[in-house]
Amino acid sequence: MIALSDLSPPPSAARATADGLAVRLSVTARCQLRCTYCLPEKGCACPATSSPPELPRASLVRLVALLHATRGVRRVRFTGGEPLLRHDLPELIADVAALGIPELALTTNAQLLAPRAAALRRTGLQRLNISLDSLRPEVFAQVSRGGVLARTLAGIRAALAVGFAPVKLNTVVLRGVNDTEAGDLLRFALRTGCHLRFLELMPIGVAARDFDERFVSAAEIRERLESEDFAWEELPRDPAETSRDWRVRDADGRETVCGFIAPTTQPFCAGCRRLRLTADGRLHGCLARASEHDLTSLLAAADVATAHRELADVLAAAFAQKRGERFVGGVATMAAIGG
């Protein structure tokens, strides 16, 4: 197996930050919730009670290090499933932080976050994205199939208290379920100082089944919000980012950032540099493609030069599979590939 000490960083910091990869590292496919847009109510291959294959921490770190040394990684986002279900998550984050990757973030449902927020902050983790699909306990439980709103709110408070900034809240908007809550969620973000992002439902996995019934466009949500007492200022857009952001102020002078992620109506495929690495070492280049690349064989490469060469070929193939214009749907299970 290639030793971590054999993997040197990319030739320049500029390569890693300006032109580097954005890697979504799914540390586990397990999740204690079964959100209606992510997992079926029954029958999924990766419920929290199963034991899907997960590479040891050292192997995952070596794969990230190999990606960083071959192409340069500017951002790693730790995802799942629910990443807080992985017992060695703090050590894994600290190991990746030691590689010198500029940006480290974590996406979580925050049900287990409150008692662990301080420890996560000490690992070198910089940002948190927290799923918050409703401020009504009964709707939150309905969408998440068992989540407790109070636990997620406690997780948000704990994250703010230990200095995560900004804390980003993600809301998947579902017609007839939570689409009337946009104003309340934005006021919550203004009160707490969190950033808020509204996500269009994606026709992928179980969400494809009732996509036509539940889909709400980003434009519709913005139109509803603009009818309320908020002032909007559009922020410059990075074509490599998924969110189109506005600075929002309320009548009391409080402000936050509100973003809209609209893969269906305002696609961002052309600028996509994201790759997904699963907990068992498979690399996905595009949500709309079924193909994947097993990277675990690279750990047993004869030498580092061979590993770099083979990985460069894999990365070229992964990027060639990306759609150039827009996302049109996919077949993957979101929880299995990191959301």
**Encoding tokens for residue 311?**
């990985």
Kindly calculate the radius of gyration of the chain based on its CA atoms and give it in whole angstroms. 20
The SS3 of residue 59 is helix
User: Residue 286 is inside which H or E element, if any?
Assistant: none
pLDDT of residue 16: 45
How far is 315 from 6, CA to CA, in rounded Å? Answer: 20
Homologous superfamily, domain 4-337: Aldolase class I (3.20.20.70)
Q: Digits of tens for pLDDT over the chain (339 positions)?
A: 666 766 766 554 434 445 689 999 999 999 999 999 988 777 554 444 455 689 999 999 999 999 999 999 999 999 999 999 999 999 999 999 999 999 999 999 999 999 999 999 999 999 999 999 999 999 999 999 999 999 999 999 999 999 999 999 999 999 999 999 999 999 999 999 999 999 999 888 788 888 999 999 999 999 999 989 999 999 998 877 889 999 999 999 999 999 999 988 887 666 677 899 999 999 998 876 767 899 998 988 878 888 989 999 999 888 887 665 555 554 455 555 555
pLDDT of residue 17: 47
User: Residue 7 is inside which H or E element, if any?
Assistant: none
Query: Measuring CA to CA, which residue among 27, 49, 46 is closest to residue 38?
Result: 46
β 293-294/243-250 pair status: unpaired
pLDDT of residue 271: 63
How far is 261 from 244, CA to CA, in rounded Å? Answer: 7
Q: Which residues contact 195 (CB under 8 A, 6 or more apart)?
A: 166, 167, 168, 169, 189, 256, 257, 258, 259
pLDDT of residue 49: 45
pTM for this predicted structure: 0.89
pLDDT of residue 212: 92
User: Residue 231 is inside which H or E element, if any?
Assistant: strand 230-234
User: Residue 139 is inside which H or E element, if any?
Assistant: helix 137-144
CA 94 to chain centre: 18
pLDDT of residue 39: 81
Question: Do 189 and 252 touch, CB atoms closer than 8 A?
Answer: no
CA atoms within 13 A of residue 183's CA, in its CB half-sphere: 11
CA 243 to chain centre: 12
Q: What are the distances in angstroms from CA 288 to CA 48, 170, 274, 297?
A: 26, 21, 13, 25
Tokens 């030498």 found at: 303
Question: Do 257 and 248 touch, CB atoms closer than 8 A?
Answer: yes
The DSSP letter of residue 262 is -
Length of the chain: 339
How far is 275 from 262, CA to CA, in rounded Å? Answer: 19
